[in-house]
């Protein structure tokens, strides 16, 4: 199947109402700044679709993987099986997963989001479980010895202390998801990937659509980094 837009869908006058140089550039599939300026609004909707797919998938993926991480922390014997399952999800080729889900969930956002969520699981789960495991046992001992319940110890001590590791996982998951979401058009969910694919030989198009994807990944990364600094002033406290 091909997601190429048939020539008939190209708007009237797309190739005609421009000055000769520009026309020439576009015809050769080159990098044409003036074309980009004029056509930038074409990318707004796909960009926000991309943001939507990434954001929803990360949010759902984080909630599930975080819960699984806590579960594995409580029931140590579950760590092995959960790591195995999330690893398998992670190793399925992404295009194959999008296509495999199509008969079950049809074309559209749902299919894309299910697949994207699946890919976040290993990274976030592993970091949550590792982060919690690395909290020094004497700190947990002191916490329970002072009369914090196991749940209070988890939420007030273990999770905050595991936060660097957890957010590191979230950052990797965010960049991975932005990248994988460019393949979401295989599930008919659009996004920047659909734009890239529509005119993959037209440099201006690829640069703008691809560039927006890269910018989104960078912006998400900075956002998590900012969150990390805001949540963890103690990490910056150096020995006096």
Partner 1 sequence: MSSDAASLELRELVKRYPGTDEPAVDKLSLEVPAGEVCVLVGPSGCGKTTAMRMVNRMIEITDGDILLDGSSVTDRSPAELRREIGYVIQQIGLFPHRTIGDNIATVPRLLGWDKQRVSDRVDELLELIGLDAEMRERYPAQLSGGQRQRVGVARALAGDPPLMLMDEPFGAIDPINRERLQNEFLRLQAELRKTIVFVTHDIDEAIKMGDKIAVLRKGGKLAQFASPAELLMYPADPFVEDFVGADRALKRLALQRVRDIDLWKGVLCHKGESTAKVRARLADADLEFPLLVDDEGRPLGWLSDRGLAGERVMEDLRSRAEPTVEMDDILRDALSDLLANQTMYGPVLDDQGRVQGILSLRAIAGALNIRPEDVPDSAELAAEASSSP
User: Which residue ranges make up the site for partner 1 (CB under 8 A)?
Assistant: 136, 138-139, 141-149, 152, 157, 160-161, 232-234, 237-240
* Token representation of residue 79: 């760590």
Cα–Cα dist 4/160, whole Å: 48
Residue 67, helix vs strand vs coil? helix
Given the structure tokens 């393949």, which residue do they identify?
A: 183
For partner 1, the closer CB: 104 or 238: 238
* Token representation of residue 238: 């150096």
Cα–Cα dist 132/161, whole Å: 8
For partner 1, the closer CB: 107 or 133: 133
**Contact assessment for residue 43 and residue 209, using Cβ atoms and an 8 Å cutoff:** yes
For partner 1, the closer CB: 1 or 151: 151
As measured in angstroms, the least distance from the Cβ of 131 to partner 1 is: 13
For partner 1, the closer CB: 113 or 161: 161
Cα–Cα dist 230/38, whole Å: 39
Dihedral sign from CA coordinates of 145, 151, 154, 155:
negative
For partner 1, the closer CB: 57 or 143: 143
Distance of CA 157 to the CA centre of its chain: 28
As measured in angstroms, the least distance from the Cβ of 161 to partner 1 is: 6
* Token representation of residue 178: 């932005």
As measured in angstroms, the least distance from the Cβ of 233 to partner 1 is: 8
As measured in angstroms, the least distance from the Cβ of 236 to partner 1 is: 9
As measured in angstroms, the least distance from the Cβ of 147 to partner 1 is: 4
């Amino acid at each position: 199947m091909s997601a190429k837009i048939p020539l008939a869908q190209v708007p009237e006058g797309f190739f005609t109402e421009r000055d000769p140089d520009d026309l020439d550039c576009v015809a050769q599939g080159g990098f044409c700044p003036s074309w980009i300026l004029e056509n930038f609004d074409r990318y707004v909707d796909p960009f926000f679709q991309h943001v939507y797919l990434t954001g929803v998938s990360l949010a759902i993926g984080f909630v599930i993987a975080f819960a699984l991480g806590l579960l594995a922390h409580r029931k140590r014997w579950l760590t092995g099986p959960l790591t195995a399952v999330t690893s398998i999800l992670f190793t399925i080729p992404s295009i194959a997963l999008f296509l495999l889900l199509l008969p079950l969930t049809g074309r559209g956002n749902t299919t894309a989001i299910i697949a994207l969520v699946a890919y976040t699981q290993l990274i976030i789960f592993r970091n949550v479980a590792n982060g919690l495991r690395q909290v020094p046992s004497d700190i947990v001992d002191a916490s329970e010895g002072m009369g914090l319940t196991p749940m209070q110890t988890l939420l007030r001590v273990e999770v905050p202390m595991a936060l660097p590791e957890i957010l590191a996982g979230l950052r990797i998951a965010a960049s991975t998801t932005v990248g994988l979401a460019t393949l979401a058009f295989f599930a008919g969910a659009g996004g920047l990937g659909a734009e890239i694919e529509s005119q993959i030989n037209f440099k201006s198009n690829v640069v703008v659509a691809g560039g927006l994807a890269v910018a989104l990944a960078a912006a998400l990364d900075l956002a998590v980094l900012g969150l990390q600094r805001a949540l963890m002033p103690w990490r910056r406290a150096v020995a006096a």
